[in-house]
Chain A
């Protein structure tokens, strides 16, 4: 909320500058996000008197004006239509002046005539919104030519932008902020009486037909002139749905003249972010900014039947609001109606038909307390967030109604030159009951970790406006002030004590944390380890949004049975992903477009799967993508392929489980290459897959070249890890090993794994390892064949192997392979 420091100082003067005040209220919860100085930087803009005014020789719309700025006369070419007669005073930017928009005023020729300086409008000086003409001082203004504009128009102020939390509706008006400043600076805030309207009239009970009334006079300072009551029909108020409108008040001002507001009022509204419209409307806005309590002005003549009915709408009922939009209501929306139909949406916005017009004479001022939840629902349903709804939905002060009415009636009568009725309607359907709360200083001390005594408690509670109703050694019982709906229970009062004292005045301590039996779930530690393993294996970690488009899922040929958002920001992010594949390969696609030669990414994240219960199954998956150049040392130009993926998967699994997974032909998802992919399993349990992406899918995803992709099911991996347990050590071998190589020519159909297995089998328990170390196709190798060379390492754990024994076993092994695979030994 924007607040005027000047206004705050008028309401509760404290001996502190704007920065001190801003700092103190910020620490106490009214966070000042910005401070803007007003009226500064206008030193070279002064009051000047028009001396002569003649037509421009060439241009119709321009006027040649001679002005006197207190020191010299200046010839100025002015484009405004409202240059005053000689003697009139204007705002003059001297040559060299810099306007708030950064423009420097230089002597220049306009239409061939030299112009020196500039006569300014409100908007050029950013002191108002009026850009239609230059600013002309009122004839009775006492400023002399040469007076700086900031002094003449009293522009100096600071505007504090306070980021208010929704628990503090009391600070949505200057009175509330001033009261808070008083509390924090140890200065009591004294609510001031409102200046009396110049003219009042005693309407008595005649004004309100049947409704309860309140006399406004005691809230006014003395000194108004009483005039005869005008002959107007009396007004009735009927609150049909009392729960939604616990209190409804209305005051009457007659005989007003609607016209533009004086400059001070327009300037104040402008600085506080509101547009000045007319004196009556501006007055209602000023009251809103002062009290934080929205009020509404009706043109009494437009209230059919002189009746106010507060009731819920009928489903489908319609009305045009002030912004000229036809609104349709539901039976949950509270309306203000006259004798025939709706005239306002309660607490949100007035109706177009009953608003204050230029010819309005009699104003009925509404000041009510509406149910916050009701206003909020209606405001959200209509998508209509207004200064009014913003306050009502946070909760205005129900007890302030008579004071606000008195203040509003006085101001409108003053500005409009009318007379205010001394009696106002004050209809209460649900009486206000203050919250009664007990504060135990001992409890406050225990919660804060710092001694809070009864004296401090009492002082703070009193300062914030609580009424102390009972005191004992153990507790202070208070009634919370009506403007603080956030004070509901003891802990709220403890916060007040802490806040007013200042959080910085509470000591710091380090707690003894009791370690839990269960500690951090193993799964979470495992996930962290898995990320580490993926990074160690050369992968960059990606983080994608959890949502994707259904189309992406379809393109990727993964499940489109997805959790859908009811209110997505866009179609691209409208369903929760069922696979990490689209997101991760999307990153690869983009990287390829940027010309990245080597893309190797992983993502460890959740996918979401509907499962018939309230919440979907969230599965954690590790996904890997490799695309582009496999690299190597200088000059290696090899594309990533299946074996790179396999290697990464082996490395990762080995790093977290201490053993390699099995990778074999097996079922893989539809989006994988049917001939260049494999299933990954561990101890017989399927844990994922690895391979190249199906070329058709690759095309649909706009991937270039072969792209390697793998997924591992993290929960299963974790379970496997627990099954495998920690590594179990064995002693070192006592006898040496002997290595022998065997090379062979075999048909392609036999896999390296099955040949290796046969080699091992043939060695009758003596083969410690069998390793493929060469693979060759090409010259001298018949079609459909390949040459494979294995190294078999023999070891007998019980004795030293003799050459003779190794020769014998190696021959057996060779014979077995030759016979089983029809191999030609080389």
Chain B
């Protein structure tokens, strides 16, 4: 049932669209208006869509030819739309790339940063070094028996060696020995405990809180130590020197010099103290003037950093090891002191005040 008017209408419609679409699309200057204009031709109610609905009314001999024309036009509109859309996108990107910059100084959005305490940081550093050398970590109680803190470590009774250990004792009303329980004054107690519990070979480090009755500008009644010891057959003083030299160079600087001085701790013999190049004036760099003016090492270029020695046979005897069979070394250091050196902390009290202004610096 062909309608000759239909052909006319169809052809006119195609002509009208063909003449107008390009201009119309090119006038849109953003994506929504482009889409709106496009909709006017190819949307569900669009002119071209409406026209295509006339197809069944076209005479059969023209239908194929006109259909092809319509489809070609639809493709042209689509292509013009794509081009226009791309131009708009490109324009927007161009505008962003050439326009004003962000205020990059506004704060970033990030998860709240936390901070480890400087003593924890130092403890982690120290433990990592010793664990990489094959040492295990161990732990012991802070409230301790007198015998573990002194007797078994070879402190002679009524001896001035305990003078440096001004001890907090635990109240013990009516107990036969009022000094039986105390707050440990040194982490060396862990030597006694671990050696009693285990058999050599042992390679252990043990960090922890210790307590002494000192409270002044340079002392805190609680502070942190780290004890380390190695027990095996044929452990030597040379190895003690080797391990501690390696440790200090890894912890501070691979160039520092390390020297060992004779000293005394009841639980080691030979006993020593270890000095290293002053890390404040970087004494190993050899700038004599800088070292001479250094207040930290008082111009000596050295700073005392730890105590050490070969484990005293009396300690082995007290834990039931044969001192002829086993030898070992032990060392101890103040983690507070290392933290103060590493981070330039001017006053030990800062470590325990928990002032947020201080803690936020680490």
Chain A 764-776, CB-CB to B under 8 Å as 1, else 0, gives 0000000000000
Please, how many residues of chain B have a CB less than 8 angstroms from a CB on the other chain? 88
- How far in angstroms is the closest Cβ of chain B from A521? 7
Residues of chain A with a CB closer than 8 A to B161's CB: 166-167
Chain A 525-567, CB-CB to B under 8 Å as 1, else 0, gives 0001001001111111111111100000000000000011111
Residues of chain A with a CB closer than 8 A to B116's CB: 531, 535, 541
| Cα(A564)–Cα(B271), bound, Å | 35
The residue in chain B whose Cβ has the minimal distance to the Cβ of A590 is B355
Beta-carbon contact of A537 and B114 below 8 Å: yes
Residues of chain A with a CB closer than 8 A to B269's CB: 491-492, 494-495
- How far in angstroms is the closest Cβ of chain A from B40? 32
Interface segment, A131-139, A242-250, A596-604?
A596-604
- Counting CB contacts under 8 A, is A29 at the interface? yes
- How far in angstroms is the closest Cβ of chain B from A368? 18
Beta-carbon contact of A543 and B112 below 8 Å: no
- How far in angstroms is the closest Cβ of chain B from A98? 22
- Counting CB contacts under 8 A, is A459 at the interface? no
Residues of chain B with a CB closer than 8 A to A616's CB: 143
Beta-carbon contact of A26 and B357 below 8 Å: no
Beta-carbon contact of B124 and A373 below 8 Å: no
Please, how many residues of chain A have a CB less than 8 angstroms from a CB on the other chain? 91
- Counting CB contacts under 8 A, is A327 at the interface? no
- Counting CB contacts under 8 A, is A784 at the interface? no
Beta-carbon contact of B114 and A565 below 8 Å: no
| Cα(A618)–Cα(B111), bound, Å | 34
- How far in angstroms is the closest Cβ of chain B from A379? 10
Residues of chain A with a CB closer than 8 A to B215's CB: 569
- Counting CB contacts under 8 A, is B181 at the interface? yes
Chain A 789-800, CB-CB to B under 8 Å as 1, else 0, gives 000000000000
Given contacts A524-B137, A543-B119, contact A567 B168 (CB under 8 A): yes
- Counting CB contacts under 8 A, is A372 at the interface? yes
Beta-carbon contact of B245 and A508 below 8 Å: yes
Given contacts A519-B136, A520-B136, contact A615 B181 (CB under 8 A): yes
- Counting CB contacts under 8 A, is B338 at the interface? no
Beta-carbon contact of B136 and A618 below 8 Å: no
Beta-carbon contact of B158 and A27 below 8 Å: no
Beta-carbon contact of A504 and B260 below 8 Å: yes
Given contacts A27-B261, A29-B263, A167-B161, contact A513 B133 (CB under 8 A): yes
Residues of chain A with a CB closer than 8 A to B261's CB: 26-29, 31, 503
Residues of chain B with a CB closer than 8 A to A519's CB: 136
Beta-carbon contact of A538 and B111 below 8 Å: yes
- How far in angstroms is the closest Cβ of chain B from A348? 14
Partner of A29, one of B106, B114, B131, B262: B262
- How far in angstroms is the closest Cβ of chain B from A488? 9
Residues of chain B with a CB closer than 8 A to A614's CB: 145, 180-181
Given contacts A27-B261, A515-B134, contact A508 B241 (CB under 8 A): yes
B residues bordering A, Cβ < 8 Å?
Answer: 106-107, 109, 111-117, 119-120, 124, 131, 133-139, 141-145, 157-161, 163, 168-172, 178, 180-181, 183, 198, 201-203, 209, 211, 213, 215, 221-222, 230, 232, 234-239, 241-243, 245-246, 259-264, 269-273, 310, 312-313, 327, 351-357, 359-360
The 3 closest A-B pairs by CB, nearest first: A449-B236, A449-B238, A538-B112
Known: A513-B135, A537-B114, A546-B142. 15 other contacts (CB 8 A): A28-B261, A29-B264, A372-B159, A447-B327, A507-B241, A521-B137, A528-B124, A535-B115, A537-B112, A563-B170, A566-B169, A590-B354, A594-B356, A601-B359, A631-B112
A residues bordering B, Cβ < 8 Å?
Answer: 26-29, 31, 165-168, 372-373, 376-377, 390, 393-394, 446-450, 486, 489, 491-492, 494-495, 498-499, 503-504, 506-511, 513-516, 518-521, 523-524, 528, 531, 534-547, 563-569, 573, 576, 587, 590-591, 594, 596, 599-602, 605-606, 608, 614-616, 618, 631, 633-634
Q: What are 14 A-B pairs at a CB distance below 8 A?
A: A27-B262, A393-B158, A447-B236, A492-B269, A504-B260, A506-B238, A531-B116, A541-B359, A565-B171, A567-B213, A590-B353, A606-B209, A608-B142, A616-B143
